[in-house]
Amino acid sequence: MTTIGDNLQRVRTRIANACAAHGRDPADVQLLAVSKTFGPEAVREAHAAGQTAFGENYIQEAVEKIALLQDLPLQWHCIGPIQSNKTRLVAAHFDWAHTVDRLKIAQRLSEQRPDGLAPLQVCIQVNIDGGATKAGVAPDEALALAREVARLPRLALRGLMTIPEPAADPAAQRAVHEKARDLFDALRAQALALDTLSMGMTADLEAAIAAGSTLVRVGTAIFGGRPYGAATAA
């Protein structure tokens, strides 16, 4: 029987091979294990295999899971939509928020981040390929939003996050990821100290790494199929 530990090793090998193919150091690409819909036991198994960073889409589910895993030194990333009525939970329980795409949400996270916690690490979600149903700020509005978010207390702006539509082949996958990398570089050229490009999932992590991703979000290849239907971010 394949275990979560076995799956993690396979994913790490994929990351290492992709980095080798493009002259990159595997240490420059973080693996985020997307544990949405899986219980605390699955997270414990992944932690036992050396994984410490976990991504969650569903905020209420995640908060309950985080409470059951406080004995482990884990880092929690919110990678699902953040509505105004959920910002307090994200601000209080997560280490990272990848899906900030409105100034109002960033302001609420800043105001509600408890004083005793380190700044919330934030990525701006960009709708890089213009998908009509996708969340994210338009690429031509990303700079203005980034400048505003960077000024907010108790937040640390780290970079960009994308969830492009599935592409037909690796070349098409890489092309859309390269648009995100170009935007990332353009924002850095405007004196924004960004270091995180959160893009790439189970199906396209090689293309994302080729384009410059620094963080890939992988769920299915680690934990298997979802226990119930969910819009994928992994």
Question: Going residue by residue through the chain (234 aa), what tens digit of pLDDT does each one get?
Answer: 579 999 999 999 999 999 999 999 999 999 999 999 999 999 999 999 999 999 999 999 999 999 999 999 999 999 999 999 999 999 999 999 999 999 999 999 999 999 999 999 999 999 999 887 789 999 999 999 999 999 999 999 999 999 999 998 999 999 999 999 999 999 999 999 999 999 999 999 999 999 999 999 999 999 998 764 444 455
| List of E strands, the chain | 30-34, 53-56, 75-78, 96-100, 120-125, 155-161, 196-198, 215-218
Q: What is the pLDDT of residue 120?
A: 98
Distance CA 125, CA 138 (A): 9
Dihedral angle of Cα 86, 91, 92, 93, to the nearest 10 degrees: 80
Question: What is the SS3 assignment for 200?
Answer: coil
Start-end of H helices in 113-193: 142-150, 170-188
Please, are residues 33 and 54 in contact by the beta-carbon 8 Å criterion?
yes
| Secondary element (H or E) of residue 55 | strand 53-56
CB 148 within 8 A of CB 184: no
Distance in angstroms (rounded) separating the CA atoms of residues 213 and 222: 19
The SS3 call for residue 23 is coil
Residue ranges of domains in the chain, CATH in brackets? 4-20+29-223 (3.20.20.10)
